[in-house]
A and B are shown apart, each in its own frame.
Chain A
Amino acid sequence: MKWSVIFDALPYLLEAAGTTLWVSLLGMALGQVLGATICIGRVAGGRTLARFGALYVSFFRGVPLLVLLLLVYYLLPFIGIDVPPLVAAIGALGMSSAAYVSEIFRGALYAVPRGQAEAAAALGFPATAIWRRILLPQALRISLPALINELILLLKASSLISVVGVAELTRTGHSFAAATYRQMEIYLTVACIYLIMNLALAAMGGLVERRLARG
C-alpha cells in the first residue's frame, strides 16, 4: 500500500466530494419540488393528472438511472437545447428522485389520520386551509426519515454522472487511479469519503427524527 498517493490525491478528492454533495443537494431540491407537485397532482388532481403522475412514477422508477442520464444528455441537444453536462446530470437526478419522493409524500399523506382532516372539515375549514395547516405539515414530518434516506441514495447515485463528464468524486477518483496505477488505494479512499458523508447524513437524520418525535 502506497499511502503517499492518498495524501497527494486527497485535496482533489475532497474538492470533488464537495461537487458530489452540491450536485446531490441540487438534485434533491429539484426532486422535492417536482415530487411534491406530482404527488399533489395524483392525490388531489383530476383523472388525467393522476394518470400522468402514475405514468411518470412508473417510468422514472422503471428506467435505470444510467439510461436516464444518457437520455437527458442526448435529448437536450436533439431538441435544440444546449446545456453543460452538469445541468443535464442534475436534471436527470432530480427527475428520477421526484418519482420516489412523490411516492414517499403519497404514503405520508395517507398515513395522516383521516379523522384530523374530517374534524377540520366539520369545523368549516376550507380545503386549502386543511391542506396547508393540517395535512402538509404532518405529511412532511412523517416523510422526513424517508427523505433523508433518499438524499443518501442520491449521494450514491450521483457517482453515475461521472459517465457524462462531471468532475465529481467517482470520476476524479477514476482519473487518479488510472494515472497513478494505485487503484486499490485511491478507490478505498473514495469509498471512505462516501461512507463518511453517508454516515454523517444518517446521523443527522437520526437527530432530526428524535427531535420530531419529541415535538
Chain B
Amino acid sequence: MDWALYLHYGPSLASGFLVTLLCWFAGGAVGIVLGFVVAVLARLPSPPLRWLLRGYVEAVRGTPFLVQLYLLYDGGPAIGLRLEATQTGIVALGIYGSAYFAEIFRGGFNAVPRGQVEAASSLGMTPPAIMRRIRLPVMLVAIVPALTNMMIILSKETVVLSIITVPELMYQMQSMAAETFATFETILAMALLYWLMVELVARLGRSVERRVTAFMTGVA
C-alpha cells in the first residue's frame, strides 16, 4: 500500500468528508423539521388529512431510498424540479428521514403520560403552553434514543448519494480507487473509515442519551 498516494488525495477526501457532513446534517435537519410538522398535523381531527399523511409515511418507508433519489434527480426535471446533485441529495435525505422521524415523534407524543397533561389543563394552561412546556420536553427525552439511531442510519445513507454523483466521501474514494487502480485497498480503507465514524457517532449518541435522561431516572 502506497501511503504517499493517500496524501496526494488528501484535499479531495477532506472535501468529500465535508460534503458528507453537510448532507448528513442538512438532510437530518430537514427530516426532523418535516417529520415534526407531519406528526403535529396528524394530530388534527381531520380524517382526510390523517389519511394523506399516513399515505405519505407509508410510501416513503415502503420504497428504497435509491428509488426516491432517482425519482427526484432523474424524474424531477419532468415536473420542473432541476436541482444540483448535492441539493437533490439533501432534499431526498430530508424526505426519506421525515417519514421515520414522523413515526418517532408520533410515538413520542403517545408516550407523554396523560396525567401530566391533565394536571396542566386543570391549572388552566392554554394548549400552546401545554405543548411547549409539558409535551415537548417530556416527549423529547423519551425519543432521544430513537432520534440518535435514525441520525446514524441517515449518516450511512449518505453513501448512496454517490450514485447520483454527489461529491461526498464515497464518491471521492471511488474516484481515487479508479485513478490509482488500488481498488481493493482503497475500498477496504473506506470500509474501515466508515466503521470508525459510525462507531464514534454511536458512542457520542449514547453519551448524549445518558446525559439527557439522567434527571428523569434520578441518576446524578
Contact A156 B170 (CB under 8 A): no
A126 to chain B, nearest CB (A): 39
B66 at interface by CB-CB < 8 Å:
yes
B34 at interface by CB-CB < 8 Å:
no
Residues of B near A190 (CB, < 8 A) are 67
Contact A67 B67 (CB under 8 A): no
22 A–B contacts, CB within 8 A, in A order: A62-B199, A62-B202, A63-B194, A64-B156, A64-B158, A64-B170, A66-B170, A67-B187, A68-B191, A71-B191, A152-B62, A156-B64, A157-B64, A162-B66, A170-B64, A170-B70, A177-B70, A182-B78, A183-B71, A184-B75, A184-B79, A187-B75
Residues of B near A37 (CB, < 8 A) are none
Contact B191 A63 (CB under 8 A): yes
Contact A187 B74 (CB under 8 A): yes
A78 at interface by CB-CB < 8 Å:
yes
Task: Other than A67-B194, A75-B184, give 12 A-B pairs with Cβ distance below 8 A.
Answer: A62-B195, A63-B198, A64-B156, A66-B160, A66-B163, A67-B159, A156-B62, A156-B63, A170-B67, A173-B70, A177-B75, A187-B70
Chain B: interface residue count, which band?
Answer: 35 or more
> Which A residues fall within an 8 A CB radius of B?
58-59, 61-68, 70-71, 74-75, 78, 152, 156-160, 162-163, 170, 173-174, 177-178, 182-184, 187-188, 190-191, 194-195, 198-199
Q: Total A-B residue pairs with C-beta atoms closer than 8 Å?
A: 108
Of A157, A177, A194, which one neighbours B63 at CB under 8 angstroms? A194
Of B74, B160, B170, B190, which one neighbours A183 at CB under 8 angstroms? B74
Residue of B nearest to A77 (CB): B184
Within B135-171, the residues touching A (CB, 8 Å) are 156-160, 162-163, 170
A143 to chain B, nearest CB (A): 19
Contact A191 B170 (CB under 8 A): no
Tell me which of A62, A71, A177 has the highest count of chain B C-beta atoms within 10 A of its own C-beta: A62
Distance between Cα atoms of A188 and B72 in the complex (Å): 11
